[in-house]
Amino acid sequence: MLLLIFFLLSARVDVFFSATDGCEDNIVKSIDSAKRSIYIASYSLTSREISEAIVRAKKRGLDVKVITDPQQSSQKFSKINFLRNNGVDIRVPLYDTKGKRFLTPKMHHKFIIFDQEYVMTGSYNLTASAEDLNDENCVFIYDDKDVVEKFYQEFQRIWKISK
């Protein structure tokens, strides 16, 4: 209980729902206001607005890295090639299936680290359908270095096994 109270006193959390609050707008605002780095782990990325914001960040000179699922990155509406063609560093994980032929691991994370200062996570895929069709959530966690570091370590772990 004390840990929960400490967490609530030390971290600021903003919660948005796609149907009522517009997750996409809040994500784009965060991308546009980032100053140093944006690290994205996203299962799928088809949102034109978010993709354009990512390219703007890259053109401002930010360190922008994206990890996405190998199968999703080649889907018809994926913006991965658009990002890659605009200089964004994109990787997909090379998972070890341990010899199991039908095993298809997924990079199913949905998080963004902004300036290594705060994190957005939740069910929200960076897709048009997440914003316009689905009931999804995005949670922004501020002022908690331990949480940000945990997400950064996970990003680095996957980045190292990706090409």
Phi, psi of 16 (to 5 degrees): -130, 150
Residue range 24-95+102-118+145-160, CATH number:
3.30.870.10
Tell me what pLDDT residue 6 has.
53
Tell me what pLDDT residue 16 has.
96
> What pTM was estimated for this model as a whole?
0.90
Is 85 within 8 Å of 79 (Cβ atoms)?
Answer: no
Longest pairwise C-alpha distance within the chain: 49
* Averaged pLDDT, groups of 10, the chain, 163 residues long: 52 94 96 99 96 99 96 79 97 81 82 99 95 94 97 97 92
For the chain, give every domain's residue range. Answer: 24-95+102-118+145-160
